Amino acid sequence: MVRRVRDILVQRAAEGFVGRRDELAVLLQSLEHDSQPVFFVHGVGGIGKSSLLERFLQQARRAGATTVRLDCRAIEPTERGFVRELNAAVGGEAISVEQVANRLGSLSESVVLALDGFEVFRLLDTWLRQEFAPALSDNVRLVLCGREPPVAAWRVSPGWQGLVCPVALGPLSERDAVDLLLDSGVEEAATRRITRMAHGHPLALKLAASAVAEQHGAVLEDAGLQQVLEELTRMYLADVEDPLTRRALEAASVVRRTTVSLLGAMLPDAAPQDSYERLRGLPFVESVRDGLQLHEVVQQAIAASLRAANPNAYRDYRRAAWHQLRIEVRTAGTAELWRYTADMLYMIENPVVREAFFPNDVPIYAVEPARPEDGSEILAMVTRHGGPDAARLLEVWWRAMPETFRVVRETPGSVAGFNCLIDPQRVDAGALRSDPFTAAWCRHLRDNPIPKGQRALFYRCWMTAKHGQELSPVQAACWLDIKRAYMELRPALRRLYATTWDPPPLGPIDRQLGFRSIPGPSLELDGKAHYTEMLDFGPASVDGWLAGLVAAELGVEQGGILDIDARELVLDGRRVGLTKLEFGVMHCLSQREGKAVARASLLQDVWGYDKGSDSNVVDTVVRSLRRKLGDRQVAIESVHGIGYRFRQG
């Protein structure tokens, strides 16, 4: 029988797998007919979750099961993104949850669907629990693999008790740790010291096997795991004598995924394909569908070391990556767009902005659609913290559109917080006019229209039971849930309107995220002055907004000569003010840098006119812009028969 190379690779991976006998036995129980439908593998980074998952899936296939493994890191965390990826994996064209679940169940008598990297899927956790998992047929097992244990709702929500099997991964036993080191080529005499130093952590053991300096042993044996991993990474890098590989590692540490084109941008004097191949051969680098990924623990250690030792190089790598991503995203298709969004999210370091998307050290709460019985708790919460007038206004929405409310739960039945998010396109105009807040937002939209095809959302209210509208873990869950709506509506989402009290508790955070106050009188409710805010994501929607947040952090102006916040041109240190129309045209052109923008598109984006309107007004504003640009006026090029193109130059 002729063996394939892939068979040899599978065999070697199996031979290199040590330990985890008990955990593997639990997972193999999922293949039994009467087992739990959901298994949840969890443990700290580098503990071996993915290796265990791959070993289990190998054995499941040998037992006759059909296995489907999806990497959550490469999937847009929305219903459409998940269904699209699952369709691609199982060969279907399903649209609804029921259809894709039926397709999955029809693959064979026993099916395992594994979601690796599940910690990045927090935005979709509730949907998977309430909609997708219940739709699966009883021959399908769902295996979720991530850093965090399942939220309490997976275990205690009505009907779910006893249906989820958690599989927690801890350190390897000393015997298994020694076996791993011996398999990695470490001499037996050195294994005992290394196992004590590495705390039984598989990644630490592998790093130690690759590079261990004797003089560090005693110090590291007394250190915590994170310190051990960081020091082992530095020791490994110290042994990398090839400067090209070291530079490639440093560049790769600042981006979510590494591609040939990104390496070319960050290392312009090196051959990008050669750098890519050097990385691909390293023990802690994984080939994924959209490039290469360093193991997160190692990546963070390298990035932290680079930032401390050479902050200029760290900044330059990030700036070069940002520019390259902005070029590539312009030609990305709908299915690819999420990758670039994820790339931009990864580059954000501003703690205020980062906390809005990735709250640290807070409990993971279930956020789900409100139930009819939640109404009394929601209104009592608003009465207690906002006042009776605020509660009466919100009660109108609860009675008319309860589906606009989502609640945060700490325990089944209790409401720890809520938010109310309204899509004005799906609400009767009379209801919008009856609420002074939504009426004000509608007037602003009327006076400042957005282009056809783009959307606005009204964030009518959010509140927590214990802290009102103050910062808290429950508040973080509410805001994280809003990011779910961002992702679902991109690239059509243009604006988000919200209310704030005086003094606004989230003012500094709002400003850093890009919110701006809407001119006009405040509304007095229950002795508090309420103001309205608006976040305009720009023509490129959420993706362009994220790119702008990274640009601000890096000190890069998206248009090179346009200060978006000040609405001014920046020309050799001089600042030149712009009219509303001049700024609108300049902003639209800079958002589409390098691409021809039709006059009709500018009319829609800036003036809100239909395509049939007179385009001479565009030419007039462009002439005015060119006068203000002076020597830089060549940045706005005329495209014959179409419109204009902006090049930073």
Within-domain flag for 354: no
What are the pLDDT digits (tens) for 274-330? 999 999 888 788 888 889 998 887 888 889 889 988 999 999 999 999 989 888 887
pLDDT at 545 over 90: no
Q: Select the highest-mean-pLDDT range: 63-72, 196-205, 232-241, 468-477.
A: 63-72
Owning domain of residue 292: 243-347
Residues 40 and 132 in one domain: yes
Structural domains counted in the chain: 5
The band of 362, judged by pLDDT with boundaries at 50, 70 and 90, is: low
Has this prediction a pTM greater than 0.85? Answer: no
Amino acid identity, residue 109?
E
Domain finish residue from 217, 238, 259:
238
Average pLDDT taken over every residue of the chain: 84
User: What pLDDT is attached to residue 374?
Assistant: 93
The band of 8, judged by pLDDT with boundaries at 50, 70 and 90, is: very low
Residues 220 and 179 in one domain: yes
pLDDT at 447 over 80: yes
Six-digit token string for 103: 């397709």
Please give the Cα distance from 197 to 121 (Å, whole number): 33
Domain containing 627 — which CATH number? 1.10.10.10
What are the pLDDT digits (tens) for 620-646? 999 999 999 887 788 898 998 899 988
Domain containing 500 — which CATH number? 3.40.630.30
User: What pLDDT is attached to residue 161?
Assistant: 87
User: What pLDDT is attached to residue 165?
Assistant: 94
Within-domain flag for 276: yes
Residues 269 and 336 in one domain: yes
Peptide bond into 505 cis (omega under 30): no
Residues 634 and 615 in one domain: yes
Residues 41 and 105 in one domain: yes
Quick check: 81 and 71 in contact, CB under 8 A?
no
Within-domain flag for 540: no
Q: Mean pLDDT over residues 109-116, rounded?
A: 95
Name the more confident of 55 and 186.
Answer: 55
User: What pLDDT is attached to residue 282?
Assistant: 84
Going from the C-alpha of 262 to that of each of 276, 326, 556, the distances in angstroms are 10, 11, 18
The band of 11, judged by pLDDT with boundaries at 50, 70 and 90, is: very low
pLDDT at 88 over 50: yes
Which DSSP string do the residues of 125-176 spell out, in sequence order? Answer: HHHIIIIIHHHS-TTEEEEEEESSPPPTHHHHSTTTTT-EEEEE--PPPHHH
